[in-house]
Amino acid sequence: MNADEIRYVRFLSGAGYDAPQVDELLRRIAVELDAGRPIGPLIANATFRPGRPGYEIDAVDWFLEQLLHRDDSHQSGRMGADPWQHLAVTNHFTRSGSDVLAEDGAMPSRQARSKQASQDRSYLARDCADVWRDFGQQPGTQLRWVRAGAMRRELRTAEQQPIASLRYGRHATVSAGGRTFTWKRVSRSSWPRIAEIADRSDRDYGAGHFLDPEARRSRKRQATGNSPTPSLAARQSLKLRELLDETGTAILYASGKNFDHRAGACITFPDQRWLRFPVRSTREANAIMTAVDQAGNKVARYRMIGTIPRISSLVPGLWKAIEITVHPGQQLTDELVLALVISAPWLASYFDQPGGGG
């Protein structure tokens, strides 16, 4: 991404990081790029106040962190010939200078910002709809996550062959590769060995990675990852779960949640590799969730299909299935299959709201 593209990056407006502060940082980044100077220190030291008008936290976090390691050879192994390289994963996009409102270089008025925000949402909605429609045309391994009973979901191949299942209930289990795994909440005694995971999840679903430390957190929950003996409420707020094999050995951990239009869910493996699940959408019907790893590589993409109509305005529609495409350069290992069957429902939960609204 060059300096001009960064100048015209847009984010959806609403509650989030203070928009003028983010815009100013982008202008400074573009200046540094034009001058051939490194941008890493500028981004690493950036902080924003919460604000209205604001920019969506998940999108700004993702965009800046990708810029941080864009020149890192260890984190860009696929970039050369990646057929998914052009696919965005959060609600940011680039519009040409002629499409963006300006007021002779001055700070835009509230009316101008409101008009721009409306145009941006319409632009993003059209783009999301186009990308959703073309979902099946992207190369990769095609899978589907479907209902297989009141308390059971299956991950199936394009030929409808089940390769994994998730059974809900008091004792939830996941089955794959002829083995059965236990899916349970992380116990209090396990906290010390996963404190780093909890801390990262708190930032992912909390106030964001770049919130001004002097600003009051926008959520009541405080960071708990550095606590050796967290409370039950703290563990529940981070949704910490672990998948255990027959010997009780952890295969992966899940933390955070995709909820209320925030993408804070994460799967972490024992060697500290991880997957996050950002969502790009303006509504459920054009939403695509992407599993991305710690290097920013796209691993899999998800979309909801086939709704059962709403019974009333108070009852959300039920999605019949989740289509999943695994990146063509990604091996479909048992580990990844387990991660996919666990993460598939997180696309729908992204739209859930406090109080049970859809």
42: left (phi over 0), alpha (psi -120 to 50) or beta: alpha
DSSP string, 122-169: HHHHHHHHHHHHTGGGS-SEEEEEEE-STTEEEEEETT--EEEEEE-S
Q: Which two tokens stand for residue 151?
A: 């308390």
Shared-domain flag, residues 113 and 146: no
Shared-domain flag, residues 312 and 188: yes
Q: Which two tokens stand for residue 183?
A: 């899916």
Strands 241-244 and 250-255: what pairing? antiparallel
Shared-domain flag, residues 248 and 126: no
In order along its 358 residues, the chain shows pLDDT tens digits of 789 889 889 998 878 999 999 999 999 999 999 999 999 999 999 999 998 778 999 999 999 988 987 755 444 445 558 899 999 999 999 876 545 554 444 556 777 777 888 888 999 999 999 999 999 999 999 999 999 988 899 999 999 999 999 999 888 999 999 999 999 988 766 665 666 666 666 666 566 788 888 774 444 444 444 455 455 555 556 778 999 999 999 999 998 889 999 998 999 998 889 999 999 999 999 999 999 999 889 999 999 997 655 444 444 445 679 999 999 999 999 999 999 999 999 999 999 988 765 4
Q: Which two tokens stand for residue 139?
A: 């190369």
Domain count, the chain: 2
Asked, for residue 357, whether it belongs to a domain, the answer is: no
Shared-domain flag, residues 86 and 164: no
Write down which residue in 133, 148, 182 finishes a domain.
133
Asked, for residue 260, whether it belongs to a domain, the answer is: yes
What pLDDT shows up at residue 231? Answer: 52
Asked, for residue 81, whether it belongs to a domain, the answer is: yes
Asked, for residue 94, whether it belongs to a domain, the answer is: yes
Shared-domain flag, residues 193 and 327: yes
Asked, for residue 358, whether it belongs to a domain, the answer is: no
Shared-domain flag, residues 127 and 268: no
Asked, for residue 105, whether it belongs to a domain, the answer is: yes
Query: Coil, strand, or helix at residue 66?
Result: helix
Q: Could you check whether the bond before residue 53 is cis, i.e. omega within 30 degrees of 0?
A: yes
Asked, for residue 356, whether it belongs to a domain, the answer is: no
Q: Which two tokens stand for residue 198?
A: 């909890």
Shared-domain flag, residues 250 and 291: yes
Asked, for residue 51, whether it belongs to a domain, the answer is: yes
Shared-domain flag, residues 238 and 99: no
Shared-domain flag, residues 219 and 128: no
Shared-domain flag, residues 117 and 169: no
Write down which residue in 106, 133, 160 finishes a domain.
133
What pLDDT shows up at residue 239? Answer: 76
Shared-domain flag, residues 128 and 147: no
- State the residue range of the domain holding 235: 139-349
How many helices (H) and strands (E) would you count in the chain? 9, 19
CB of 288 within 8 A of CB of 264?
Answer: no
